[in-house]
Amino acid sequence: MPEVITIGETMVLFSPMQNGPLRYVHGFQKSMAGAESNVAIGLTRLGHSCGWISRVGRDEFGEFLLREIRGEGVDVAQVKMDPEAPTGLMFKEIHEGRETKVYYYRRNSAASRMSPDDLDEEYISRAKILHLTGITPALSQSCRETVYRAIEMAREKGILVSFDPNIRLKLWNRKEAAEVLGQILRRADIVLPGLDEAQMILGLDEPDEIIDALLSFGIKKVALKLGKEGALVADRESRIKVDGFKVDRVVDPIGAGDAYAAGFLAGILEGKSLLECGRLANAMGAFAVTSRGDIEGLPTRSELEAFIEGHRQVAR
């Protein structure tokens, strides 16, 4: 059975073959994108077992997603094909030297119709970690209820709940997002926010204040992502600033946070120290930005170890 289970929507991603406004783009490359499946694939490439729970349309795009994610070694036995709703789509718009824009076509998608009835309690109970993001509860009320029920199942069975806010303001407003995500993170064991996300949810500015607040909720491990500066990782015993890894050129930053989560969770599964978890996560995030696409830059274990080894400081 999978060590880690994730729940969420994966969409078919169309990346432009040239930069500039989409109105002038005539060719696209088809791949896939989904925060939760990205984490699952990142973990499988590091040697861990993962399962993904979702819905896809009973259409060619749904078949494509199942084939690709299954091919990456992720268990898709709990994914349902919905004959009444389509698979969601996503388009990227790339401008040199500017932030990549993303356009979603996911309203009323198959995944937005997920409900608590889609959850198999026995399947979830056999995992070590349940990983969730703030994207799923933003898709619909039934998706939100699914997340809440999954957390209940995990906590009843003593399974660690991992949560990455992964805020998408194209899906809901700031007030609603802060309220819902604040409720979820208070019930998590591992929280992996970006600094701006934590500031929005908690209404605090300073990293140490944020860490103090999160730990006061009973959260066991916190990894506060600080971009190129690395991360501040903490538990009840320690608080450590983990420096980031320098890369020569950022090709595509989208998906770096998911890679980070995969690295951090891999460290936890392997019983590594807090510092080692943070370093593994930073390395995954840095490696991921060197390639285009959400999963294309996710490294294998040997590739990641070589990357980390190449960045070790020489003491003398």
Tokens of 293: 């696409």
The answer to whether 220 and 189 have CB atoms below 8 angstroms apart is yes
The single-letter code of the amino acid at 156 is E
Question: Which positions are annotated as active-site residues?
Answer: 258
Bridge-based pairing of strands 231-234 and 221-225 is antiparallel
3-state DSSP of the chain: CCCEEEECCCEEEEEECCCCCHHHCCCEEEEEECHHHHHHHHHHHCCCCEEEECEEECCHHHHHHHHHHHHCCCECCCCEEECCCCCCEEEEECCCCCCCEEEEECCCCCHHHCCHHHCCHHHHHCCCEEEEECCHHHHCHHHHHHHHHHHHHHHHCCCEEEEECCCCCCCCCHHHHHHHHHHHHCCCCEECCEHHHHHHHHCCCCHHHHHHHHHHCCCCEEEEECHHHCEEEECCCCEEEECCCCCCCCCCCCCHHHHHHHHHHHHHHCCCCHHHHHHHHHHHHHHHCCCCCCCCCCCCHHHHHHHHHHCCCCCC
